[in-house]
């Protein structure tokens, strides 16, 4: 393998056309665990890989860490090419400017909390020229709220404390890049929410470029500057949490992030103020659309978020319903959730999910009109 080459880059990490198979597949074959993935992580940013189980998140992270050898592609980190298949160039894990927090924290049970945290300073890439290791480690333990625990065995910590110890250990080596693989997944729901806030606060305080893996969309939205949504080894969309939610490019993203009513489209025509989409439920004028498909025989969905559906009691006959974005239905279920009402509205056998104000009086069997503004109606190719 060649020497490390310096490359100027505005990003802390650049991943270009990464492919990794665990067998011997051909391009386009679904057995590629990671199939042509490219994205950038700007310096100091928090980027999350999000997607369902088996979509290639851990494999991508392990390629960044140098724990897997990709079949093709290029990885640049902090200005150095750490992997380039074309050049047959691979920098070993220990030589990469990273620290990794694996899913089960990788904490050594036979060591104290202090020795666990100090390990990278004593033995890792950062060990050369280290001074005041004990004092620096104690300071870091203090920062993550473990100051009184230094002499305990690591096994005597709770799940949340072990997670903080793993983070302290990772941050102590002052990595350019922090890699985290579902670090909160084996904690209970309340602790997960508390620790994800702490995690983000530490990340900002230390300004460390972070790549985080999760299959939990709420976690991804809450933590990230940018989310990379993966599906079947490929990237569906790279965007800010807000844009992913408001402007999904595909039906997959709309369905995976938050909840969405996806109504199959029969015919789409472009009109002056958007896209007029015919569905079995009626016509919808969509002010926006997701990604454009190259094929002319396009199929897709009308995407409507539950909170964007207005529900009105049906006082007049269904014939008075407008010719688009308004349909008559019947309440098929209503759940009072304190601050809001969750309704299921049956329209010609299709169930729409609607979030309504808690004050709305709607009971199962009530006839209603549902309405959605074109600005909140989006056409998505599938």
Ligand X SMILES: Nc1ncnc2c1ncn2[C@@H]1O[C@H](COP(=O)(O)OP(=O)(O)OP(=O)(O)O)[C@@H](O)[C@H]1O
Q: Which residues contribute to the site for ligand X (CB under 6 A)?
A: 22, 33, 51, 53-59, 215
Q: Which residues pair with 347 in a beta bridge?
A: 350
Residue 52 or residue 145: which is nearer to Mg ion going by CB?
52
Q: Which residue from 14, 58, 60, 173 is in contact with Mg ion, where contact means CB under 5 A?
A: 58
From the list Mg ion, ligand X, none, which binds 250 (C-beta under 5 to 8 Å, kind-based)? none
Residue 100 or residue 352: which is nearer to ligand X going by CB?
100
User: Which of the ranges 25-33, 50-58, 152-160, 162-170 carries the binding residues for Mg ion, by CB under 5 A?
Assistant: 50-58
Residue 226 or residue 308: which is nearer to ligand X going by CB?
226
Give residues 319-358 in contact with Mg ion (rule: CB under 5 A).
Answer: none
Q: Closest Cα partner for 228 from 17, 36, 51? A: 51
Residue 148: HSE in the Cβ half-sphere, 13 Å Cα cutoff: 0
Provide DSSP, 44-87. Answer: T-EEEEE-STTSSHHHHHHHHHTSS--SEEEEEETTEEEEETTT
Closest CB 57 distance from Mg ion, rounded Å: 5
Closest CB 382 distance from Mg ion, rounded Å: 26
Do 179 and 65 meet the contact criterion of CB atoms below 8 Å apart?
A: yes
Closest CB 47 distance from ligand X, rounded Å: 15
From the list ligand X, Mg ion, none, which binds 74 (C-beta under 5 to 8 Å, kind-based)? none
Q: Closest Cα partner for 187 from 157, 159, 150? A: 159
Residue 64 or residue 265: which is nearer to ligand X going by CB?
64
Residue 169: HSE in the Cβ half-sphere, 13 Å Cα cutoff: 29
Closest CB 379 distance from ligand X, rounded Å: 29
Is residue 134 classed as helix, strand or coil in its secondary structure?
helix
d(CA 242, CA 234): 21
Closest CB 199 distance from ligand X, rounded Å: 18
Residue 32 or residue 379: which is nearer to ligand X going by CB?
32
Residue 22 or residue 259: which is nearer to Mg ion going by CB?
22
Helix pair angle (133-143, 113-123), 10° resolution: 130
Q: Closest Cα partner for 38 from 233, 242, 257? A: 233
Residue 230 or residue 304: which is nearer to Mg ion going by CB?
230
Is residue 243 classed as helix, strand or coil in its secondary structure?
helix
d(CA 174, CA 209): 11
d(CA 355, CA 372): 12
Does position 116 interact with Mg ion (CB under 5 A)? The reply is no
From the list ligand X, Mg ion, none, which binds 59 (C-beta under 5 to 8 Å, kind-based)? ligand X
User: Which of the ranges 36-44, 58-66, 232-240, 302-310 carries the binding residues for Mg ion, by CB under 5 A?
Assistant: 58-66
Binding site for Mg ion (CB under 5 A): 58
């Amino acid at each position: 393998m060649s020497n490390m080459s310096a490359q100027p880059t505005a990003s802390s990490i650049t991943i270009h056309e990464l492919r990794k198979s665990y067998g011997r597949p051909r391009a386009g074959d679904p057995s590629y665990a990671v199939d042509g993935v490219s994205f950038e992580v700007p310096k100091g940013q928090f980027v999350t890989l999000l997607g369902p189980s088996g979509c290639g998140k851990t494999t991508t992270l392990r390629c960044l860490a140098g724990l897997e050898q990709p079949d093709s592609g290029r990885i640049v980190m902090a200005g150095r090419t750490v992997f380039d298949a074309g050049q047959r160039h691979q920098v070993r894990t220990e030589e990469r400017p990273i620290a990794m927090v694996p899913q089960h924290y990788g904490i050594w049970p036979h060591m104290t909390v202090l020795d666990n945290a100090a390990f990278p300073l004593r033995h890792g890439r950062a060990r050369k020229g280290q001074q005041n290791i004990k004092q620096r480690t104690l300071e870091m333990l203090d920062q993550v709220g473990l100051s009184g625990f230094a002499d305990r065995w690591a096994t005597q910590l709770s799940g949340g404390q072990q997670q903080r110890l793993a983070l302290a250990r990772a941050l102590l080596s002052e990595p350019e890049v922090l890699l985290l693989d579902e670090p909160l997944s084996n904690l209970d729901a309340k602790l997960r929410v508390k620790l994800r806030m702490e995690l983000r606060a530490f990340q900002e305080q230390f300004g460390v470029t972070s790549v985080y893996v999760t299959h939990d969309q709420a976690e991804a939205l809450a933590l990230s500057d940018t989310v990379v949504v993966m599906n079947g080894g490929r990237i569906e969309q790279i965007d800010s949490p807000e844009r992913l939610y408001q402007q999904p490019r595909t039906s997959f993203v709309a369905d995976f992030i938050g909840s969405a009513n996806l109504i199959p489209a029969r015919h789409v025509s472009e009109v002056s103020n958007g896209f007029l989409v015919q569905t079995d439920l009626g016509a919808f004028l969509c002010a926006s659309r997701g990604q454009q498909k190259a094929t002319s025989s396009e199929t897709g969905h009308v995407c409507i978020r539950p909170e964007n559906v207005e529900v009105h009691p049906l006082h007049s006959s269904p014939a008075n319903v407008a010719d688009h974005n308004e349909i008559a239905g019947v309440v098929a279920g209503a759940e009072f959730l304190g601050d809001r009402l969750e309704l299921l509205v049956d329209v010609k056998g299709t169930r729409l999910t609607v979030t309504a104000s808690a004050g709305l009086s709607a009971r199962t069997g009530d006839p209603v009109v549902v309405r959605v503004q074109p600005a909140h109606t989006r056409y998505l190719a599938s």
